[in-house]
Amino acid sequence: MPAFLPQNADVVLRAMQYRDLDAIAQLAADTAGFDGLGNPLDPSGVDWSRLRTWYGLSTILGSLSPGHRRLRASVAERDRRICGAIAVGPVNQSRSTWSVKQVAVMPEGRRQGIGSELLRYCFETIWEARTWMLEVNIHGKDALALYRHNGFQPLAQLTYWSIAPNVLASLAEREPDLPNLMPVGNADAPLLYQLDTAAMPPHVRQAFDRRVDDFKVNWLSALSGTRQRMDGLETTMGYVFEPQRKAAIGYFQVRSNRCDPQPHCVELTVHPAYTWLYPELMAQIARIARSVNPELPLILASADYQPEREAYLEGIEAERFEHSLLLSRSVWHKLRETRSMSLDALHEMLNGWQPAKPMTGGGRVYWSQAWDGQAIDWPDDPIEPTDLPDSPPQPQG
């Protein structure tokens, strides 16, 4: 594969190395908020300081797991100094869709297009990625201009809601009507995959490109969950099973931290045909959140293709606190790259194609046809249609 050539000849683009982590962490701290990226349900983002501690172990363990190398970082270097960095990671187990996690560029590098070169470097070097995604705050005008300039198009609008502790207390008072609430295990992955497929419109579903394996937990993720529980992070998951259709119609995941006063984070999926589940699931979620810390609010997201969820959240007086855009970019053209052919070469090739010429004279071939067991040999001279006999000849005698 040919080497990637940046537009700035004095800039070197390469993969991150262990010695770059300190410089990247400082650069990310100095340029916080420049890229406009971030998900309020996952406020930690890319923790470069922790990545330095776990770099060696994650490299060893990551190479053994099916979803190895969940984070890939690249840097832009000028005069042996880090002037930009980017962190990306796969969204699904098949690694066909990747997400931009963070872009950090020095102020003088922004005017020189270092951000665009880092994005193009990832597009060209990560060949397994067919689709790229990112989530950007709607108020980051410079960040939006950067991503739109590099081919990202809006996929969905996301709204983040905050539910106050007093509202959670009122929701937790009622007994939820969930007779078929089930715990989540790897055996339930096909059901959760079908629910996720039904809950998204086709263009969003195609961008995420999820499979059944994306809803299973491998041993490395289980090990990471054990470490998170040691740090005080509690994760509770469940889904609602419909016995008649033998399908999952609702799913939730609640993440709470006993040691850190951060809001409870909820991921909620409801089948579009079962919107009556919202009050029941929210009552269950409110009870779980208050059992961990009743003084903290709860945050969750809704997309523009979920009007029933937004209507329900408005009805319980939840507060909108952030809006973002989900952007995507397809790079399918990389799979069918071929050498470009000029029009002159195409004209030369077409001129070499000569039409076939008919054969004349004795070279003409005729078929013999048998009528009543007697074969008739057609003469060499051409016969007009009017000269053909009206009926087959009869044998003599």
pLDDT(44) > 80: no
Do both 142 and 168 map to the same domain?
A: no
pLDDT in tens, 250-295: 999 999 887 778 899 999 999 999 999 999 999 999 999 999 889 9
Orientation of helix 48-62 relative to helix 219-230, angle to 10°? 150
Do both 212 and 77 map to the same domain?
A: no
163, 316 contact by CB (below 8 A): yes
250, 271 contact by CB (below 8 A): yes
Do both 138 and 238 map to the same domain?
A: no
Task: Give one DSSP letter per residue of 64-91, joined into a string.
Answer: TSTT----EEEEEEETTEEEEEEEEEES
Per-residue confidence (pLDDT) for residue 391, from 0 to 100? 52
- Considering the domain boundaries, does residue 142 fall inside one? yes
| 117 compared with 8, residue with greater pLDDT | 117
Do both 229 and 112 map to the same domain?
A: no
pTM (two decimals): 0.77
Do both 202 and 83 map to the same domain?
A: no
How many angstroms separate the CA atoms of 117 and 103, rounded?
11
Do both 86 and 119 map to the same domain?
A: yes
pLDDT in tens, 311-345: 999 999 999 999 999 999 998 654 443 344 445 54
Do both 212 and 179 map to the same domain?
A: yes
Do both 173 and 133 map to the same domain?
A: no
Q: Is 164 helix (H, G, I), strand (E, B) or coil?
A: coil
Residue with tokens 């800039």: 11
193, 176 contact by CB (below 8 A): no
Do both 233 and 139 map to the same domain?
A: no
Do both 18 and 125 map to the same domain?
A: yes
Q: Residue 228's domain spans which residues?
A: 159-317
User: What sign for the dihedral angle of Cα 32, 33, 36, 38?
Assistant: positive
Per-residue confidence (pLDDT) for residue 385, from 0 to 100? 46
The predicted model gives 110-124 an average pLDDT of: 92
The predicted model gives 338-364 an average pLDDT of: 47
**pLDDT interval class at 60 (50, 70, 90):** very low
pLDDT(369) > 70: no
Do both 143 and 170 map to the same domain?
A: no
pLDDT(173) > 70: yes
pLDDT(296) > 90: yes
- Considering the domain boundaries, does residue 33 fall inside one? yes
Give the CATH number, domain containing residue 132: 3.40.630.30
The residue ranges of DSSP E strands in the chain, in sequence order, are 12-15, 72-78, 81-90, 97-105, 131-137, 153-163, 181-182, 233-242, 247-257, 264-270, 298-303, 319-330, 369-371, 374-376
292, 165 contact by CB (below 8 A): no
- Considering the domain boundaries, does residue 313 fall inside one? yes
Per-residue confidence (pLDDT) for residue 373, from 0 to 100? 46
Structure tokens belonging to residue 332: 């399918």
How many angstroms separate the CA atoms of 373 and 382, rounded?
24
**pLDDT interval class at 219 (50, 70, 90):** low
- Considering the domain boundaries, does residue 256 fall inside one? yes
Q: What is the mean pLDDT of the chain?
A: 80
